[in-house]
Amino acid sequence: MLKIGKIHEGFVLDHIKAGKSLSIYHHLQLDKKDCTVAMIMNAKSEKMGKKDILKVECDIEEMDMDVLAVIDHNITVNVIKDGEIVAKKELVLPKEIRNIYKCKNPRCISSIEQELPQIFVLDEKKEIYRCKYCEEKTRQEL
Amino acid sequence: MRHLMSPLDFSVEELDRLFDLANDIEKNREKYSHACVGKKLATCFYEPSTRTRLSFESAMLSLGGEVLGFSDAASSSAAKGESVSDTIRMISCYSDICAMRHPKEGAPMVASTHSRIPVINAGDGGHQHPTQTLTDLLTIRSLKGRLSDFTIGLCGDLKFGRTVHSLINALSRYDNIKFVFVSPEELRIPEYIIDNLKEKNIPYEEVISLEEVMPKLDLLYMTRVQRERFFNEEDYVRLKDFYILNKEKMVLAKDDMLVLHPLPRVNEISVEVDDDPRAVYFKQVQYGVYVRMALILTLLEIDTTKL
């Protein structure tokens, strides 16, 4: 099996749905940050069959955990300090997200007024996001 | 400052107070005739809706206030490309309260976030039309004396009918309501509404024939079945008469059943039913004015105890 070494300080995202890590890499804007990233794809997992893992060497405070929660709040976030796991961060779906999804409802006011921020509000019962303006639920996957 | 975007913006207790005020207005028109002197209502209608606009204007005029506005987008700055948020900033300088109708869903909500005056959603596309729902509730409460313990039949286009969906949501907050959905297969009530009812353990049934359920209804809410909603002409011809309310069907109904309709009706209620005392759809129009008067007073925070 492919071996990737420990990271000293940063975080490890485990239990990513297989094939999703590249999307997470882009949504967390890791390409724009000065940090080392290891992406492990299609690793064997007892729980999931196959999974992806992301190891990122940077301060966790710099990361937008809201986006991560929206992509998949079942991802495990391990915080690493001095090469050891010091904490596990729980991902909570944010109540409101801005400019991540775009409303696809052609009857929505945001379809004609381009300057409006794309705001989606969490429907907590159903764990789905609805457009703040027209309440249409989003079906987009990040 | 409060706005009205959805009928559920008001709690059941707040609705009770609103309806009490509307009923007081009904009984004492004169007392309220100067309540809004010096106040202006702007009716910003980006698409024509004569009945709703006139109802709002009538409500404000009956309160002694004045009205200004536009009745279609072509005669507003929207035709020049002005955004809703810019328009409402301007309207906020011209008036004290605004009723907005817009073909795009969420437009009044966008307006409310940039407004210095209360905004009332007077209908936004297929999304919400809260003052219609308030009208329906006030009509039922005034004529039946309660908003609980009913079997209500909703008949016609239950798939696309915005007023039907809002009314179901609003009535779901009251006790012991049973829904009977009467529609052709093609126009059945959407699944998400059924799911909501199941979640709250609210009883419902879905039927195709109006006649078979008429005897058990306390209320019948009629809507229009439009020809263009059907996949083929044959189905339309086969089913359309099922949903025309006439004298024969009214014979099957309880003596105190009420027939409501959001209007305009086309042919789904035969004119011969109009004289039946149980047909209250024209009274409903009058209640629409009373509830809008009560709403204007409430949102303008006018102290009605001093009138």
Residue A4 domain-assigned (yes or no): no
> What pLDDT, on the 0 to 100 scale, is given for residue A141?
72
Examine the domain organization and report whether A101 and A44 are in the same domain.
no
A27 to chain B, closest Cα gap in Å: 28
Residue B2 domain-assigned (yes or no): no
B104 and A CB contact within 8 Å: yes
Provide the CB-side half-sphere exposure for B250 (13 A, CA): 20
Inspect the interface and report whether the beta carbons of A109 and B126 lie closer than 8 Å: no
Examine the domain organization and report whether A35 and A72 are in the same domain.
yes
Distance CA A22, CA A24 (A): 5
> Do the beta carbons of residue A64 and residue A28 sit within 8 Å?
yes
Nearest in space to A16 (alpha carbons), one of A100, A88, A72: A72
Across residues A33-61, what is the average pLDDT? 90
Residue A137 domain-assigned (yes or no): no
B127 and A CB contact within 8 Å: yes
Summarised one tens digit per residue, pLDDT across range B28-57 is 999 999 999 999 999 999 998 889 999 999
Distance CA B155, CA B245 (A): 10
Chain B residues lying within 8 Å of A132, measured CB to CB: 106, 109
Inspect the interface and report whether the beta carbons of B127 and A134 lie closer than 8 Å: yes
Domain count, chain A: 2
Domain membership of residue B109 as a residue range: 7-128+288-306
> What pLDDT, on the 0 to 100 scale, is given for residue B73?
83
Residues sharing a CB contact under 8 Å with residue B113, sequence separation 6 or more, in sequence order: B85
B111 and A CB contact within 8 Å: no
Summarised one tens digit per residue, pLDDT across range A10-27 is 999 999 999 999 989 998
Lowest mean pLDDT of A37-46, A59-68, B92-101, B123-132, name the range: A59-68
pLDDT at B229 over 70: no
Across residues B265-278, what is the average pLDDT? 94
Q: Residue B57: beta bridge partners?
A: none
Examine the domain organization and report whether B120 and B137 are in the same domain.
no
Q: How many helices (H) and strands (E) does chain A have?
A: 2, 8
pLDDT at B59 over 80: yes
Examine the domain organization and report whether A32 and A69 are in the same domain.
yes
B102 and A CB contact within 8 Å: yes
Domain count, chain B: 2
Examine the domain organization and report whether B140 and B207 are in the same domain.
yes
Residue B1 domain-assigned (yes or no): no
pLDDT at B277 over 70: yes
Inspect the interface and report whether the beta carbons of A116 and B110 lie closer than 8 Å: yes
> What pLDDT, on the 0 to 100 scale, is given for residue A142?
67
Summarised one tens digit per residue, pLDDT across range B147-197 is 999 999 999 989 888 899 999 999 999 999 999 999 988 889 999 899 999
Chain A interface residues facing chain B, Cβ-Cβ under 8 Å?
105, 107-113, 115-116, 131-136
Of chain B, the percentage scoring pLDDT greater than 70 comes to 99
Examine the domain organization and report whether B230 and B148 are in the same domain.
yes
Q: Is B81 exposed, middle or buried (0-12, 13-18, 19+ CB in 10 A)?
A: exposed
Examine the domain organization and report whether B198 and B254 are in the same domain.
yes
Nearest in space to B152 (alpha carbons), one of B178, B129, B187: B178
Which of A96, A109, A123 to mutate against chain B (most B CBs within 10 Å)?
Answer: A109
Examine the domain organization and report whether A16 and A82 are in the same domain.
yes
Chain B residues lying within 8 Å of A112, measured CB to CB: 104
Residue B66 domain-assigned (yes or no): yes
Summarised one tens digit per residue, pLDDT across range A68-113 is 888 888 899 999 988 889 999 888 899 999 998 899 999 999 999 9
SS3 content of chain A, % helix, strand, coil (to 5): 15, 35, 45
What residue type is A54 in one-letter code? L
| CA dihedral of B126, B128, B131, B135, whole degrees rounded to 10 | 70
Examine the domain organization and report whether A102 and A61 are in the same domain.
no
The pLDDT mean for chain B works out to: 94
Examine the domain organization and report whether A21 and A67 are in the same domain.
yes
> Do the beta carbons of residue A104 and residue A137 sit within 8 Å?
no
Examine the domain organization and report whether A85 and A21 are in the same domain.
yes
> So what's the ipTM on this one?
0.86
Examine the domain organization and report whether A40 and A64 are in the same domain.
yes
Distance CA B216, CA B214 (A): 6
Examine the domain organization and report whether B103 and B138 are in the same domain.
no
Q: H-type helices in chain B, by residue range?
A: 12-27, 50-62, 84-94, 107-113, 130-144, 162-171, 191-199, 210-213, 233-240, 247-251, 281-299
> Do the beta carbons of residue A121 and residue A132 sit within 8 Å?
yes
Examine the domain organization and report whether B60 and B86 are in the same domain.
yes
Residue B105 domain-assigned (yes or no): yes
Distance CA A40, CA A49 (A): 14
Q: What is the CATH number of the domain that holds A34?
A: 3.30.70.140
SS3 content of chain B, % helix, strand, coil (to 5): 50, 15, 35
The pLDDT mean for chain A works out to: 89
Inspect the interface and report whether the beta carbons of B110 and A134 lie closer than 8 Å: no
Residue B253 domain-assigned (yes or no): yes
Distance CA A36, CA A58 (A): 8
Examine the domain organization and report whether B49 and B60 are in the same domain.
yes
Domain membership of residue A16 as a residue range: 10-89
pLDDT at A1 over 70: no
Q: What is the CATH number of the domain that holds B262?
A: 3.40.50.1370
> What pLDDT, on the 0 to 100 scale, is given for residue B80?
76
Mark which of A55, A74, A89 sits at the end of a domain: A89
Q: Could you tell me which residue, A124 or B151, shows the higher pLDDT?
A: B151
Examine the domain organization and report whether B135 and B272 are in the same domain.
yes
Find the residue in B nearest to A109 (Cα): B104
Residue A141 domain-assigned (yes or no): no
Inspect the interface and report whether the beta carbons of B84 and A105 lie closer than 8 Å: no
- Between CA B210 and CA B222, with CA B216 as vertex, the angle to 5 degrees is 40
Of chain A, the percentage scoring pLDDT greater than 90 comes to 51
- Burial string for B279-289 (b: 16+ CB within 10 Å, else e) reads bbbeebbbbbb
Examine the domain organization and report whether B119 and B140 are in the same domain.
no
